[in-house]
Structure 1
Amino acid sequence: MSEFDFGLDRLVIGLFTGLTYGMLAVGLVLVYRSSRFVNFAHGAVGVFGASMLALFVADWGAPYWVAFVVAVIVAALLSGLIEVVVVRRLEGRPSLVGMIATLGLSQLILVSALLINTDGVSGFTFPKPTHLPTFQVQSLPIGTPYVAMLVLAPVVLAGLGWFLKHHRMGMAIRAAADDPDTARLEGIPARWMATLSWAIAGGIAAFSAILVTPTTTGAGMDGLGPDLLLKGLAGAVIARMSSIPIAIAASLGIGVIEQLLLSNPDTRDLVTVVIALIIVVALLRQPQLGRSGQDKGRWRRVVLPPLPASYRTVRSIVWLPRLCVAVGIMVAVGLAYVVSNDTASVLTLVSGYTLVGLSVGLLTGVSGQLSLGQFAYAGIAAAASVHVAASTHNFLFGVLCGVITAALASAIVGIPAMRLKGLALAVSTLAFALATSSWLLRQELFLGDGLSPAKPTWWNYPLEYAVDYYLFALVVLCLGVWIANNLRHGGFGRMVQALRDNEHAARAFTVPNRLRMLQLYAVSGALAGLGGIVIGHGQSQLTVNSFPADASIEVVAVTVVGGLTVTLGPLLGALIIVGLPALVGMGMVGQAVLAVAWLLVVIFLPDGLGGVLVRGRDELYDWLARRHGIDPLRERHGVFDVSGQASSPLHEKPRLEGLVPRVGASARSAGPILTVDSVSRRFGGVVAVDHVGFQVAPGEILGVIGPNGAGKTTCFEIVAGFTAPDRGRIVFDGIDVTGATPEERAREGLVRSFQDAALFPTLTVHETLMIAQERAEPTRLWASALGVRTAERTKTEAADEVLERMRLTRFARHSVGELSTGTRRVVEIACLLSLQPRVLLLDEPSAGIAQSESDALGDLLLGIRDELGTTMVVIEHDLPLLSRLSDRMLAMNLGRVIAAGTPDEVRNDPAVVTSYLGADQAAIHRSGLRLATGADDPDPDPLVTRIQSVPSR
C-alpha cells in the first residue's frame, strides 16, 4: 500500500484550500442563522459567480481583478434576490420546504451558469489571478490562485468578523438572527437583515468558487456545485452551524485531510467518503441540530382524508376512481404496442423514477424528513440484483435480493438517521449519495467498470426489446404504487404522520417511534430499490453514470412537482421532468425552464400538480353528491362554532361507564400505585428536579402546584419516561419502570397528557382516536403494506364508540388543528381513556380553555375518577379547580417539594406563600393570604378570597 505524503508542500496546499472551504462554510453559517435551513443552492451561487468571471475575462477580455469584484457583487445580488423572491414567500412553512426550494434553485442556477459559460471554461483553462507572485514550497509550485487564497481569505474573514462584531449593521444581523421578533421590537428590520446575510453569503460563495476552480485539475464546473457544498458543509456542521471561527478552523483541517488523501493513490478516491463520515460523526455529536421541533404546527396534511361515508352510497363516486385506474392501466399497456423502442426506454426510465419517487413521497411527504440519498439505494439494489441474477440464473431471486439489499442499506443509514432529523438528515443523506456515486458503486462488488444486466423472461420469452421490457417495468410500477398507497392510507401512514406532527404525543399513545421510523427507512429503501432494478436491468450496459448523485435531487423534484399529497404524484412529475426532456430533446434552455417550473410549483402550489387534480376531483365528487341530495358542505366540514360555548363537548355530559374497564385492585402490590423515589435531574449546571419524592394511592387525585420554573413538568417528564433521571427511581404498581420507555409505561397504564393539548394538528379527530387504539390493536407493517383491513376495522369501530360516548361525533372529520383548546382537551382525554390508564398524569389540563369551561372540566375529571377508578396526578395553576379535584396536594419550588398535605395546608404553608410572592411581608400582607398563624387581612384580595373559600375534598 502506498504511503501518505506529509510534506510541507501538501500541508501548505491543504491550508490554502481549507481557507477557501472555510469561506464557504461561513456563508452557510450566515444563511442558516438567518433562515434556519441549509441553502443547498449555496455552491451553485458560487459556481454562477465563477461563470460570470469566466465570461468577463475569457470572453470579454476584462481585467481580472475588475471582473473578480463584479462577479462577487453579482453573486451577492443573486443570493439576496433569492431571499427576497423565494425564501420570504416560504415564511411560516416547514424548513423542509425551504431546503427543497433551494434544491430547485441549485439546478436552475447551475444550468444558468453553464449557459453563461458557453466555452466550458473550467479547471486549468479557468482565469487565474493576475499581478501576484508565485513561489515554490519544496518541489511544489504555488500558483497565483493559492497566493490569492493566502492573501485575500484572511483579509475577508477579518473584515467580516469586525463587521459582525462592531459595525451597526453587523450587530443588527446578529440580533435579527438570534431573535427576529425582539429585533423588530427594537426597530431592526429583521427581514432585510436576513437579505443582507444571504447577500454576504452569496458573495463569499463566489469568492470561494473563483479561487477553487483553477485548482480542480480540469473538472467541469457543472459538478463543482454539490462537491463544493459538501466540503463547505463539513466545516459548518462541525461548527454547529453557528460559530464562524470554529467553521474556519474545521475547514482548514478538512483541506489538510483532503490533500493527505489525494497524496496516496490508494485513497484519492475516498475524499468524498471521508468528508461524508466527518459530517455524520459531527451530526451525531449534536443530534439537536436540525430537529423538526421548530416546524411544529407548520405541517400540511399530505395524505388525502377518506371520503365522507355518505359519498360511498353514490355509485358513480365509488366506481369512477376504479374506472380511471382501469383505463389508465389499459392505456399504459397499449402503449407497448404502438411506441418505438426508444420511446419505450424513456417510459421505462419514467417508471423507475416514479418508483424512487414513491419512496421520497413516503419519507419526505408523509414523515416530513428530506432524504437526498434515495437514488444511492436504487444503485445499490440494481448492482445486487444484476450480480445475483447472473450468478444464480434466477431473475426473480435477483430482484428479491436487490430489494432486500436496498432496504437493509436504507435501514442501516436510518439507524443514525433516527437521531438526525430535518436539516441533519438532509445533509447526511446528501453526503451518503455523493460518497456512493463517487466511490461505493465504483467498487467491483457493485458496478465497477460496468455490468451487462440480464433481462427477465416471461414463459420462456426473453424481454430483450425495450417495448417488451417496458411491460415488465409497468408490472413492477403497479406493484410499487399499490404497496405505497396501502402504506400511506393505512395505519402505518397514520402513525408516521402522528410522529411527524408531534413525536412525544405519539409515543405517549404507545407508538414506538424508533421501530416505526426504522420500518419507514427500510420500506422507502425497498421502493427505491425497485426503481433502481427497473432502471438497471433495462440498460444494455450498467455503469455508475446510471445513478449519479444529482439524480437524488432530481427525484425530489419529480415528487414535489407531481405532488406529495397523492400517491401517483411522482408519476405525474416523472412524466414532466424525466419523460418530456427525453422525448422532446430539451437543451440547456429547456432544462432551465423546467427548473423554473419546479421552483414555481414549490412556492405557489404546496400540493403540486397532483393537488390541482385532487381539487378538481373533489369538485366533481361534490357535484355528483349534490345530484343525489347530499350537502357537501355539511358532509365534508360539518357546522359548528369553534369558539362558541355551545360547541364545546365539555358542556355535555359524557357516558363514561363501560367506556373502558374500571380500574380494579392490583394483584401485584397492595401499596401505592405510583412511587417517585428521590429523583433528580440536572441540565448542565441547572438543577431542574432535586430529590423529589412522593407516593400516590390507587384512586387518589394528587395535585401539584408551584411557580413557573419549579420543575413540575420536568418531574412529569421523568415519571412518564421522556427524560431520564440522574438518580432516583420510578415504581409503578410495584414494578421499577425507571428504565422503561414512554411507550412501555403507557402500555402498562401510566399515561400522561401535555400542556398544549396540540395532539396531531393535521390528523382528524377520528384518526387521532385511532392512533390511541394502537395499544390494543398495533398496526403490522406487512398487513398495512398488503392492505389487510381487519385491524383497521376494529380500530374504526372502537374510535366511533369513543366519539359517541365523549360527544365528539360532530367533530370526527375535523382536523385537530381546527379545534378550540377546550375541544382539543376533550379529544386528548378521550384518547387517554382509550389507553385504559391506571394512572393519568395531567399537565395543566385547564391551560388555554375558557374560564366558563373550567368547572365542566373539573366535573369530567371527577367523573373519570369516580366512574372508572382512575388515579390522577394533576399539575395545575388554577388553584380553585385543583383544590376542588385534589385529595392531597404538594408544592414544588426550585426543583424541590416544599410542602405536602391537604389543599388548605399546602395553600397556606409559609414556604408556598413565599415561593409565589417572595419574602416581602408587605406583599404577602397585601395579597390577602393567611399564613399558618391565622392572621386575618382587613381587606383581602377577591381572587385570593375565592382561592381560600374553595372547599377541599
Structure 2
Amino acid sequence: MITSPRLQIFAAISAIVVGVVGAALIASMFGAAAERILTVFFITLVGVVGIGIYSGNSGILSFGHVAFMGIGAYVSALLTLPAQLKVATLPKLPDWLATTEMGLLPATVIAMGVTALVALLVGAAIGRLEGSAATISTLGLLIIVHGVIIGWRDVTRGAQSFFGVPRETGIWAAVIGVILALVLARLYRDSRSGLRLRAGRENAIAATAVGVNIPRERLISFVLAGAVMALAGALLGHFLGAFSPKKFFFNDTFLLLAMLIVGGMTTITGAVTGAVVITLVTEFLRRLEGGFSIAGFDVPSVFGTTQIGIGLIILYAMFRKADGLAGLKEWEERVFPKRPPSGSAPALQEVHVSDSLTASNMTMQFGGLVAVNDVSLTLTPGEILGLIGPNGSGKTTLLNMLSGVLRPSKGAAIRGQNKLNGVPAHKIVEHGIARTFQNIRLFPDLSVHQNVLVAALSTHGGEDADSRARAALARLNVAQLAGESAGTLSYGDQRRVEIARALACRPSLLFLDEPAAGMNRLETDALMDTLRGLTRDLGIGILLVDHDLTLINQLCDRIIVLNEGRLIAEGTPDDIRQDPAVIEAYLGRGKPGKKTKPKNRDEPGPATELAG
C-alpha cells in the first residue's frame, strides 16, 4: 500500500522517466564523451539512492552499503566473465562457476539476489542497534567485506585488478538502472513499511508504542538498499571493465555520503540534488587540481583540492540548511500538497472488549532505587481511573511498566487471560492498550495525517487505516490540520494529535500521561468533554495521569495515589480529597513545635486545594 496521494506518485514517476530519458537523449546529441559522463553520473546516482533508502528513512548513517556495491560488482563480473578467461586467470574456481557465462541482465539479477541475502544476514543484527552503535557497525561491515575480497584471491584476484569484464553498461543500461532505483526508492518511501520506518526515525519510543516493529522495518530497508547497491556495483563493474577492491572502499563511501548529506538524506529529490551538485563541483575542481592561471598569475596545484571542496560544501550545507538543499519534502509534495478529503469523517467504532487490566504487586527497581514498590490496580473498559501523586512518585514509571517500555522487577500485569510481562513494547497495542507520553512524542517531520496513519497502519493488520486515521483526527477536532507538519503545531494541538494517534490504534484501554499539561482552562475543559465522550460513546477505559486536580476530580470515577513509589490511597474523588495521607503527601507534615497561623474562614484548606 502506498500512503501518498496517487497524483504525487504519478508526478514523481513521470518526472523520473522523462528527466532521465530526456537527459540521455540530450547527451547522445553531444557524442560519446557526454554519454560517458552521464553514464557515470547515473550509476553514481543509483548508489546514492541505495544508501538513501536505508539511511534516509531510518536516520542511521551507513558506511557499509558501498560494501554491497562491491559484492554486486564481483558477483556479476564472475558470471559474465568469458569462461576461457576464468579458466586461465582463476584456475581454482569451482567448475560450475568457471563454465558459467551469461549476459549482463541475468548476472545483475543474480548479483542483486546474492547481495540481498548477505544484507539480510547482516541487517538482522545491525537493525537491533541504535544510533552511533549502528553506524559504527556499518563501518565494520565495510572493512570486513573489503578484507574478505582481498583475502579471497582464488575468486577475486585479491588486491589485484579484476580485469576482462565485458563492458556492457552503456548509456541505456544506465538509464534503465537509474529509473528502476529511483522508482523503487520513491515507492518504498511512502509504502507502509517506509512510513513506519520514518516514524521510527523521528521517535523510536512513540513508534514502538503504536505497534511499529522497528528492527523489522530497518531490516527491510537494509536489504532493499543492499540490492540497489548491488545494481550500482554491477553497472559500474561492466562500465569500467576492470576494478579492484579499493574502488569499493572509503573514497566512494565518502563521495556517495557527501552527495546524500548535501542534497538531503530524507528525500529522493535530495539524493538527485546532492548528486548533481557534488558531480558538478567535483568535475570543476578536478580541472583545477593541476594548477591554473588567473590574470597572469600561476596558481600551483594543491593536493586534495576535490576532497577539500566537497568537505566545504558539506559544512556549508550543514550550517545553512541542516536538512540538505532539498529540505524534508519531495518536490511533488510541495507542488501537489495533499488536500483534506471532502465530506464528513467516519466515526470511531465502539469498543466491544470487556477484559480488565489487572496489575498486581508491580515493582520497579533501578539499582538501589525503588521507583515503584508493590503497586496493584485494576482498569476496566468504560471507566476513567486517575493516577496522581507528587513529582517523582513513580506515576510515569508505572505507566511504562504497564505499556511494555519497562519490564517490572517484580509483579505481573494481566489483560484478560494474557500476561503482559515480557511482551515486546510494539505488541502491547495488540492487547488493546495505547498511550500518550508525559513529554510529547510526535513525529515532527511527518504531517499530522501521517502521524495518525502510522498508528492505524501498524494495528489490526492495517484494516481501514485511512478511515481510522480520519476518524481519530475528527474526534479530537484537528482534522483541519491534517496536512501540517506535526512539529509546527501549537502545544495544545500537538497534545490533541498525540491522543488522536493513540485512538487510531482502536484501543479498549487508553493511558494518558499528563494530557492537559500546557493547556489553558478552555482547552482543558474541551479535553475533558472529549475524554468523557470516549468512555461514554466508545466504551474506552482511560488511565489518566495529571497534576491538574480539577480535571482529575471532575473526570475520574476512581483515583489511586502514589507517593515515593507506594500506593497510599485508592477510592472515589470524594474519598481521596479527605484522605489524610494524600493531604500530607501533597502539602507535607508540619514541623514539630511550630505553630500554624490560623486561617481565615475564606482561605482554602488542604482538602479544598486537592479539589482543584
CA distance in structure 2 between the aligned counterparts of 1:844 and 1:837, rounded to whole angstroms: 18
Q: Are the equivalent residues in 2 in contact too, given 1:376–1:549 (CA < 8 A)?
A: no
Tell me the TM-score normalized by structure 1.
0.55
8 Å contact kept, 2:13–2:183: no
CA contact (8 A) 1:362 1:488 kept: yes
Aligned match of 1:399 in 101, 108, 118?
A: 108
2:237 match: secondary structure: helix
Instruction: Tell me by how many angstroms 1:556 deviates.
Output: 0.6
Q: Contact 1:678 / 1:691 at 8 angstroms: preserved in 2?
A: yes
C-alpha separation between the residues in 2 aligned to 1:364 and 1:664?
41
Match of 1:706 in 2: 389
Q: Mapping of 1:904-923 within 5 angstroms?
A: 904-920=574-590
Report whether the alignment pairs 1:893 with 2:601: no
2:317 maps to 601
* Aligned residue type for 1:403: M
Aligned to 2:544: 874
* Residues 140-166 of structure 1, C-alpha deviations (whole Å, 9 max, x = no match): xxxxxxxxxxxxxxxxxxxxxxxxxxx
Give the 5 Å matches for 1:268-417.
322=14, 325-333=17-25, 335-336=27-28, 338-340=30-32, 344-389=35-80, 391=97, 392-395=100-103, 396-417=105-126
Structure with greater contact order relative to length (CA < 8 Å, sep ≥ 6): 2
Quickly say closer, same or farther: Cα 1:732–1:561, change in 2 above 3 A. Answer: same
The TM-score, its normalising length taken from structure 2, stands at 0.83
Give the equivalent residue in structure 1 for 2:604. 942
Alignment of 1:245-260 (within 5 A): none
- Determine if contact 2:266/2:328 at 8 Å carries over to the other structure: no
Q: CA deviation at 1:618?
A: 9.1
Q: Deviations over 1:530-572 (max 9, x none)?
A: 2112112222223212212232122111212333354143344
User: 3-state DSSP class of the match of 1:387?
Assistant: helix
Q: Contact 1:348–1:534 at 8 Å: present in 2 too?
A: no
Q: Secondary structure at the match of 1:688?
A: strand
Q: Which letter does structure 1 place at the counterpart of 2:129?
A: L
Q: Which residue of 2 aligns with 1:754?
A: 437
**Would you say the 8 A contact 1:560–1:573 is kept in 2?**
yes
Instruction: In structure 2, give the amino acid aligned to 1:577.
Output: I
CA distance in 1, matches of 2:48, 2:202: 22
162, 170, 179: which is aligned to 1:451?
162
Mean Cα deviation higher: 522-531 or 326-335? 326-335
SS in 1 for 2:170: helix
Q: How does 1:520-919 map to 2 (within 5 A)?
A: 520-564=221-265, 566-578=267-279, 581=282, 585-587=287-289, 588=303, 589-611=305-327, 659-664=347-352, 666=354, 673-776=356-459, 778=461, 795-919=465-589
Q: 1:614 to 1:949 in 2, by over 3 A?
A: closer
Contact 1:770 1:795 in 2 (8 A): yes
Instruction: Report whether the alignment pairs 1:475 with 2:176.
Output: yes
Q: Distance in 1 between matches of 2:311 and 2:582?
A: 63
**Separation in 1 of the partners of 2:329 and 2:489?**
28
Cα distance in 1 between the residues matched to 2:117 and 2:594: 65
Partner SS, residue 942 of structure 1? coil
How many Å apart are 1:333 and its aligned residue?
A: 4.3
Q: Distance in 2 between matches of 1:926 and 1:447?
A: 90
In structure 2, the partner of 1:298 is: none
- Whether the 8 Å CA contact 1:899–1:906 is kept in 2: the answer is yes
Determine if contact 1:769/1:799 at 8 Å carries over to the other structure: yes
Q: Distance in 2 between matches of 1:689 and 1:824?
A: 29
Report if aligned partners of 2:373, 2:566 keep a CA contact under 8 Å in 1.
yes
- Alignment check: 8 A CA contact 1:675 1:693 kept: yes
Shift of 1:918: 3.1
Output the amino acid matched with 1:858: M
Check whether the contact 1:453–1:542 (CA below 8 A) recurs between aligned residues: no
User: d(CA) in 1 for partners of 2:597 and 2:80?
Assistant: 83
| Contact 1:372 1:426 (C-alpha < 8 Å) held by counterparts | yes
Name the amino acid aligned to 2:604: P
1:670-718 C-alpha deviation (Å, 9 max, x unpaired)? xxx1111212221122111222212223322211111111111111111
Would you say the 8 A contact 1:434–1:549 is kept in 2?
A: no
Within 5 A, what are the aligned runs for 1:232-247?
Answer: none
SS at 1:538's partner residue? helix
| 2:188 equivalent in structure 1 | 487
* Shift, 1:749, TM fit: 0.7
Whether the 8 Å contact between 1:558 and 1:573 is mirrored in structure 2 is yes
Determine if contact 2:440/2:498 at 8 Å carries over to the other structure: yes
- Counterpart AA for 2:101: H
Contact 2:384 2:543 in 1 (8 A): yes
Report the identity percentage. Answer: 29
Q: Taking structure 1 as reference, are residues 867 and 332 closer, same or farther at Cα in structure 2, changes over 3 Å only?
A: same
Conserved in 2, the CA contact under 8 Å of 1:350 and 1:571? Answer: no
Aligned mates of 1:431, 1:676 — CA distance in 2: 44
Letter of the aligned partner of 2:251 in structure 1? D
Change in CA separation of 1:423 and 1:319 when aligned onto 2, cut-off 3 Å: closer
Deviation at 1:866, TM superposition (A): 0.9
Task: Verify the 8 A CA contact 2:46 2:178 in the aligned structure 1.
Answer: yes
- The structural deviation recorded for 1:427 is 2.6
- Residue 736 of structure 1 and its aligned partner are, at CA, apart by 1.1
Q: Gaps spanning 5+ residues in structure 1: where? A: 1-304, 456-463, 623-631, 638-654, 780-790, 929-936
1:514 aligned to 215, 238, 250, which one? 215
Amino acid at match of 1:915: A
Cα deviation, residue 486, structure 1: 0.9
Distance change (3 Å), C-alpha of 1:381 and 1:327: closer
The 5-angstrom pairing of residues 43-58 of structure 1 reads: none
In structure 2, distance between residues paired with 1:942 and 1:846: 24
Q: Corresponding residue for 1:181?
A: none
Provide the residue aligned with 2:292 in structure 1.
none
SS of the aligned residue for 2:412 comes to strand
The residue type paired with residue 354 of structure 1 is: L
Larger radius of gyration: 1
| Offset of residue 813 of structure 1 | 1.3
The answer on whether the counterparts of 2:16 and 2:182 sit within 8 Å (CA) in structure 1 is no
Amino acid at match of 2:381: P
- CA 554–949 in structure 1, closer or farther in 2 if over 3 Å, else same: closer
CA distance in 1, matches of 2:50, 2:15: 26
Contact 1:433 1:552 (C-alpha < 8 Å) held by counterparts: no
Q: Which residue of 2 aligns with 1:256?
A: none
Question: Which amino acid in 2 is paired with 1:893?
Answer: N
Structure 1: distance between partners of 2:593 and 2:263? 64
Higher helix share: 1
Contact 1:389 1:397 in 2 (8 A): no
Assess if the C-alpha contact under 8 Å between 1:406 and 1:526 holds in 2: yes
Residue 335 and residue 777 in structure 1: after superposition, are their counterparts in 2 closer, same or farther (change >3 A)?
Answer: farther
The answer as to whether partners of 1:355 and 1:481 remain within 8 angstroms in 2 is: yes
